[in-house]
Structure 1
Amino acid sequence: MTVYSDTKHGDTKHGDTKLDNVRLRITAATALMQTMVMAYRGLVKFRRSPQQLYDVIILPIVGTVLFASIFGGVVAGSVNDYLPFLIPGVLVQIVVTVSVVTGVQLCDDINKGIFDRFNALPVARIAPLAGSLLASTTRYAIAAVMTVIVGYIMGYRPESILGLVLGCILVVFAGFVVSWIFALLGVLLSEPSAVQGLSMLVLTPLMFASNALVPIETMPDWMQTVARFNPISKLVSAIRELTMTGTVGADTGWALLGCAVILAIFVPLTVHTYMRRST
């Protein structure tokens, strides 16, 4: 640890100026490489602790079977006729829901002092955060694949295989984007249970006030307005369009625009909040 003068305040503080100077010289390419290294660290954690993947394996099974059995006859007359409508909605619901865990784990890691070790390294501030969130896309991919497999076993047959693949990629990307919101909560709040509770409080109305499980036309008038402007509905509609027709429509554009807006707001906000908390 070196001693340096703070000429602005005219006093002397303790700090690692060499480390700060190294961080200032980090290029975008270096930051990207460091992020990938941190993401690999997250993947190693999954291998050493496979119970972290239990929810993304079990939840798609329970959710798909449960929603299909409850709403199939009411919405479409039969489970088989309901599956093409349901699977895109369940894909979004499950992937976005499991992304909450990212914020919870981030809060827990910060409390355990794991991120303090990263602060002592000459790495970009964004690398530990982005790496952790990037590693979690593995969980989202597993959840998406499991949902499709369960749907296929139940009789789901997409009209476009390519559209289904693109839809899964889109929902995994959306899960990564939304996880930045929960990461911000993980940095702001001091208790993992508080992160989970507040995240679900925000997420539950968005999930059910959407077209994920039932057509918007079946809702009360006031809720139809909410559902039509709900970003979850745009994402679900985009995936339905991809899986049913194999085409990229306006809803896909709106979904991608929404993702871009969330990233533009929450990435710098989360990094800034993390830096303030770590100093």
Structure 2
Amino acid sequence: MSRPTDPPTTTSTIVTPAPVHEAPRIVSRTGPGKFLADTGAVFTREILLVLRDPFTLIFSLLQPLIFLGLFGPLLTGTFGGGFGGEGASTADTLQWFVPGVIVMISLFGTSMAGSNLLYEIMTGSYERVLATPLDRSAILVGRALKEFAPLLVQGLLIAVVCIPFGFRFHVLPALTGLVLLGIFGIGVGALSHSLAQAAKGREWLFWGVQQSLLFPLLILSGMMLPLEAAPSWMQTAALFNPLTYMVDAERALFAGTFDDPAVLWGAVAAAVTCAVGLVVGIRSTRRAV
């Protein structure tokens, strides 16, 4: 005898639409708003990497401190007591030498910025960044802006360390000089990123070009030694070196003066370098695949 089966039960789900005021709103940025937001996101990502490893920033100060500790006294002895004339002291040498060392920090740090991009390209992480909806230009600009903050901190630390030895620190002109140096560093960092993208898969090419350009620019800027006693061809070549105008501007500003013509020429060199670097860097980033 068969047992009657229970009647099938049915369940129904009633979906109640959420009130209109609780519906999520999706804001889509376009144009300048998207560019600024994407630039901020990239800058935040890059600067957090620096903050998570502050020892890299501290260790990068070791070489400039060695230059100050060993090269500074050598200059004082070689040029008869400094650069301020007869009877000048080590403090006068520092006043001449410290701005050059700060420019050297900028040049070394920003010109090697592309090495981080090379590593990301090799590991494939950069391709994932390019696959995001981030604006390609914002990727480059955000990375380049990241170079500004470490430069400001390192420059201030170097200047503060030299104060007990007689270095005169004029706050407002010095901060202006660091801002100019940051603008210059953004351009150099962007060019370094462009070189890294061009050298993709050929790390030797990046370091070969970077090292081949770095030291001639450094020597021809008068950063370490005055160019007044240099041969005429070196003095002529220095006129085409944007770093020469940056070094002269930094020395004038760290000496506490704004009305020196070197400051104006330094501002022009910083602006032109920044503009050229960003244009070249943005084009190379947009073409990256």
Q: Same fold (TM over 0.5)?
A: yes
Matched, 1:75 2:79: yes
Letter in 1 for 2:229: T
RMSD: 2.2
- Aligned partners of 2:92 and 2:279: how far apart in 1? 44
Matched, 1:66 2:66: no
- Aligned partners of 2:279 and 2:182: how far apart in 1? 21
Within the candidate set 218, 225, 228, 1:217 is matched to 228
- Superposed, which structure 2 residues align to 1:36-115 within 5 Å? 36-75=40-79, 77=81, 78-115=89-126
Q: Shift of residue 70 of structure 1?
A: 2.2
Within the candidate set 31, 46, 51, 1:27 is matched to 31
Q: Shift of residue 199 of structure 1?
A: 1.1
Within the candidate set 205, 226, 232, 2:216 is matched to 205
Structure 1 residues 129 and 55 mapped into 2: Cα distance closer, same or farther (>3 Å)? Answer: farther
Letter in 2 for 1:195: F
Percent of pairs with identical residues: 26
In the alignment, what sits opposite 1:186? 196
- TM-score of the pair, normalised by structure 1: 0.82
Matched, 1:167 2:177: yes
Matched, 1:242 2:261: no
* 2:184/2:271 contact within 8 Å kept: no
- Superposed, which structure 2 residues align to 1:218-233 within 5 Å? 218-233=229-244
Task: Classify the secondary structure of the residue corresponding to 1:144.
Answer: helix
Which is richer in helix? 1
* 1:100/1:196 contact within 8 Å kept: no
Structure 1 residues 214 and 127 mapped into 2: Cα distance closer, same or farther (>3 Å)? Answer: same
Task: Classify the secondary structure of the residue corresponding to 2:77.
Answer: helix
Choose 233-242 or 136-145, whichever is displaced more.
136-145
Structure 1 residue runs of 5 or longer lacking an equivalent are: 1-22
Matched, 1:142 2:146: no
- Aligned partners of 1:111 and 1:268: how far apart in 2? 25
Structure 1 segments (4+ residues) deviating >6 Å:
none
Q: Deviations over 1:124-180 (max 9, x none)?
A: 10122221221222221222122212322332114x332122112222222122111
Structure 2 residue runs of 5 or longer lacking an equivalent are: 1-27, 82-88
Q: Deviations over 1:57-114 (max 9, x none)?
A: 3233222223212222223514322111111111111211111221111121122222
In the alignment, what sits opposite 1:7? none
